[in-house]
Amino acid sequence: MRVALGADHAGFPFKDLVREAVEGLGHTVVDCGTDSTDPVDFPDITQATCAPVLAGEADRAILVCGTGAGAIMAANKIPGIRCGLANEPYSAHQAVEHDDANAIALGAWLAPRAFVPDIVREFLAATFDDDADTRRRVAKLNALDDLAPPTT
């Protein structure tokens, strides 16, 4: 599996830990930045990290920022990306199994370092349930991409 990996400056200290976990499972990392703790804008890193998934150059994406909140908000504004917050292993697995997530956001300030290998393993090993209930819910989730803001 090819995994796009991106971190903003707050997530950068966790980036190598995530890379090691991905590569330790035999997968390939597509590095999408950043390369230091110098300030960068998380929407830019999120877009750069999700782009390979949308282009078919990566199978999934892992986004790392301080809490994961900014990355998940930015990712879920990108049509075709379904991103779950995964600061522990169960959510990483569940996001794929029930919500067909192709990305997770991870909080470097919140996720225990010891959980990172398990979070990555659960995310990459999970498969979508693909039953009638989950297909219906994901179709409704994807339809939200087409909503327009109310006009006044």
Which residues are catalytic, by number? 65, 98
Give the three-class secondary structure for 142.
helix
Cα 32 to Cα 119: distance, rounded to the nearest angstrom: 20
β partners of residue 15: none
Pull the structure tokens for residue 89: 């292993």
- Cα–Cα distance for residue pair 103/140, rounded to 1 Å: 18
Phi, psi dihedrals of residue 128, rounded to the nearest 5°: -65, 135
Sort 73 into a burial class: Cβ within 10 Å, 0-12 / 13-18 / 19+. Answer: middle
**First and final CA of the chain: distance in angstroms?**
46
